[in-house]
Amino acid sequence: MTHKMEIENELQKLNPQITEVEIGVRNLRTIKIYPLSIGDQLELTDLITEAMQRFFGVSAESTADTDFVIFILAIIKKNLGRVLELATCNEYNDILKDITNEQAIQIGNIIYNVNFKCLEKNMKGLSEKLKQTSQSERPLPGSASGTQATDLNTSSTETSRTAA
């Protein structure tokens, strides 16, 4: 094994989320897909959220499946280069000219699985823990405002007689 390969293997051990993918239209080459930083994840989430808001805001009365697919394809086309820049740390110039649809889908799956799938799983787990915690707490007593007033005078004015 060459020294360069040993260094790359050591680096990958440090961050196992780095994934290598083969891309190419005529000749295959290997590229690295890096996990997104929180800032990059937020930027990607903002792109998706903005696209969804624009779609449902503009075509609220007509949400035909074909309209939605056409809209999403336009968003992907507009932002795919930026997403690939985020995931590859700008290492690959003009990557869109050397990638097929199938390879782009593979990269998209990697980006989702590495960056968002664990978030989804962890958030569901946290949500379940919060539900269990809130259910295990004792319920708060009901309000006393609906209770009628009662006479708290327990002693009687009459003297009691004792049996002889």
Helix (H) or strand (E) holding 80: helix 65-88
Q: pTM for the complete prediction?
A: 0.56
Q: What are 33's strand-pairing partners?
A: 19
Name 32's bridge partners: 20
Q: Residue 122 and residue 60: Cα distance in Å, rounded? A: 32
Q: Element (H or E) spanning 26, and its range?
A: none
Whole-angstrom distance, CA of residue 145 vs CA of residue 81: 63
pLDDT digits (tens, 9 = 90+) for 103-142: 988 988 888 888 888 777 777 777 777 777 777 665 555 5
- The whole-number pLDDT of residue 65 equals 63
